[in-house]
Structure 1
Amino acid sequence: MKKLEIIIEAIERRRVCKILDEVGVSGYTVIDDLQGRGKSGSKNASDPSNILKSSMIIVVDEESVINSAIDKLKEVFKFYSGKMFLSDIQVID
């Protein structure tokens, strides 16, 4: 199993979720209003618009499904800032 963590500008969250649905992921978790600091500076969750906010989307699925998602999501990252992190995981039921 693989875990894909996607950090993206909140304004693009719907587009990312639509792509995940299209490739057939079994599910995902969305965490809005992230705060932190990276090479582009600080992000503050108290911004009244979605322009400066970020969201995290966490997906756990089979490697083939995750790879399909990554291929399609690369297009989003050509125009919007964010990161994707891929991990091998063991799911504990």
Structure 2
Amino acid sequence: MERVKRLEIITNSLEMSQVIKILDSIGVSGYTIIKDVTGKGDRGKIIDDLETPALTNGYVLSVCTEEQESEVVTAITPILKKFGGVCIVSDAKWIAH
């Protein structure tokens, strides 16, 4: 098993392409995206009955190295400040296959 950092990023769906560009530019090896994430945060409730995807959130799950962690956090922070959302980084172990 390899020690990695688990990345969980939730933000506005319109910013998902920018989040993915950031991960790719830093060299993060892969990710999973879940669209139309609902919940409640400091900007209120996000519900799934909206007419436009511009108002929905998306969830990105990925892993990165400890070296990549600070680059990701630095690059993602302006998006979160402008559009809301969250970036959670935690320790994890990756089973290489």
Q: Same fold (TM over 0.5)?
A: yes
TM-score by length of 2: 0.86
Q: Choose the corresponding residue for 2:28, options 25, 47, 60.
A: 25
CA contact (8 A) 1:44 1:52 kept: no
Q: Deviations over 1:2-59 (max 9, x none)?
A: 0010000111111111111111101111111111122322111231212220001111
After TM superposition, the structure 1 = structure 2 runs for residues 1-93 of structure 1, keeping only pairs within 5 Å, are: 1-93=4-96
Moved more, 63-72 or 82-91: 63-72
In the superposition, the TM-score normalised over structure 1's length comes to 0.90
Matched letter for residue 83 of structure 2:
Y
**Structure 2, unaligned stretches of length 5 or more?**
none
Instruction: Give the % identical residues.
Output: 32
Partner Cα separation in structure 1 for residue 81 and residue 39 of structure 2: 22
Q: Which runs of 4+ in 1 moved over 4 A?
A: none
| C-alpha distance in structure 2 between counterparts of 1:39 and 1:70, whole Å | 19
Offset at residue 78 of structure 1 (A):
2.7
Secondary structure, counterpart of 1:8 in structure 2: strand
The SS at the match of 2:36 is coil
Q: 2:81 is matched by which residue type in structure 1?
A: K
Cα RMSD (Å):
1.3
Name whichever structure is richer in strand by fraction.
2
Q: What SS does the corresponding residue of 2:48 show, helix, strand or coil?
A: coil
- TM-fit CA distance, 1:75: 2.0
Unaligned runs of 5+ in 1: none
